[in-house]
Amino acid sequence: KAGVTQTPRYLIKTRGQQVTLSCSPISGHRSVSWYQQTPGQGLQFLFEYFSETQRNKGNFPGRFSGRQFSNSRSEMNVSTLELGDSALYLCASSPGGIYTDTQYFGPGTRLTVL
Amino acid sequence: GNSVTQMEGPVTLSEEAFLTINCTYTATGYPSLFWYVQYPGEGLQLLLKATKADDKGSNKGFEATYRKETTSFHLEKGSVQVSDSAVYFCALSNAGGTSYGKLTFGQGTILTVHP
């Protein structure tokens, strides 16, 4: 089975711009979670989608949003970029997003905001 | 709320040394516990997991036992190799609607193994 894929792998944007990141889960997985990884804050949960519905959301401002399509692929969008949004954004998929499920991670998208 | 605390790093060992990375957690109920590993420039890979008390997860020579009485899930390996050099994350997930798809991570422990 193919693993979780994320595109693009690297992005450079300037402050004030917006960005869209894409995640394709493992075939058959219906839950997609997104995380932000920074040296200062570590790994922080952004949100989770299951069957095109956001079921859970972390403590991030409304500039961070996402969606999931009928084929379980997911996108996240960050509007009005700030320098502090520079991070590695990881998505993970699991069969159902329940607490005993293993989450499988993609390689991440490295976002640099100048 | 849920939280995970890992031992302070970084950890530097010689090849074939014994490894322990401590992990303790705070959570209500019976969370699932995980160890993930991250190699440079890559995403996280599951190393092992345990979903109930006294379960032992194991993989590639690494082991960890879910100890509810001490709220711990320490990672151990009897003989480390240079290729084990990476960042190790302890994580938990919990039941309940507000926990869907959410892993809570420790701060990560950098392991460097010298030949």
A46 touching B (Cβ < 8 Å): no
Structure confidence by residue, pLDDT tens digits, A10-38: 999 999 999 999 999 999 999 999 999 99
Sheet containing A19-24: give its strands across. Answer: A5-7, A19-24, A74-78, A64-68
- Give the pLDDT of residue B100: 86
**% of chain B at pLDDT higher than 90:** 83
B34 touching A (Cβ < 8 Å): yes
Q: Which candidate, B36, B31, B39, places its Cα nearest to that of B55?
A: B31
Torsion region of B51: left, alpha or beta (phi above 0 gives left; psi -120 to 50 gives alpha)? alpha
To test the contact with chain A by mutation, choose from B47, B100, B110 the residue with the greatest count of A C-beta atoms within 10 A, namely B100
- Name the residue type at position B42: E
Q: Say if CB B80 and CB B19 are below 8 A apart.
A: yes
Does A45 sit within 8 Å of B102, measured CB to CB? yes
Q: How confident is the model at residue B28 (pLDDT cuts 50, 70, 90)?
A: confident
- Give the pLDDT of residue A97: 77
User: How far is Cα A79 from Cα A15, in angstroms, rounded to an integer?
Assistant: 10
Q: What is the mean pLDDT of residues B23-40?
A: 94
Lowest mean pLDDT among A42-51, A57-66, B68-77, B94-103: B94-103
Q: How confident is the model at residue A2 (pLDDT cuts 50, 70, 90)?
A: confident
pLDDT(B98) > 80 = no
Tokens of B55: 């379960």
Secondary structure, 3-state, chain B: CCEEEECCCCEEEECCCCEEECEEEECCCCCEEEEEEECCCCCEEEEEEECCCCCEEEECCEEEECECCCCECCEEECCCCHHHCEEEEEEEECCCHHHCCCCEECCCEEEEEEC
pLDDT(B17) > 90 = yes
Q: Say if CB B44 and CB B36 are below 8 A apart.
A: yes
Number of C-beta neighbours around residue B93 at 10 A: 28
Mean pLDDT of chain A: 95
Structure confidence by residue, pLDDT tens digits, B65-92: 999 999 999 999 999 999 999 999 999 9
Mean pLDDT of chain B: 94
Name the residue of chain A whose CA is nearest to B29's CA: A99
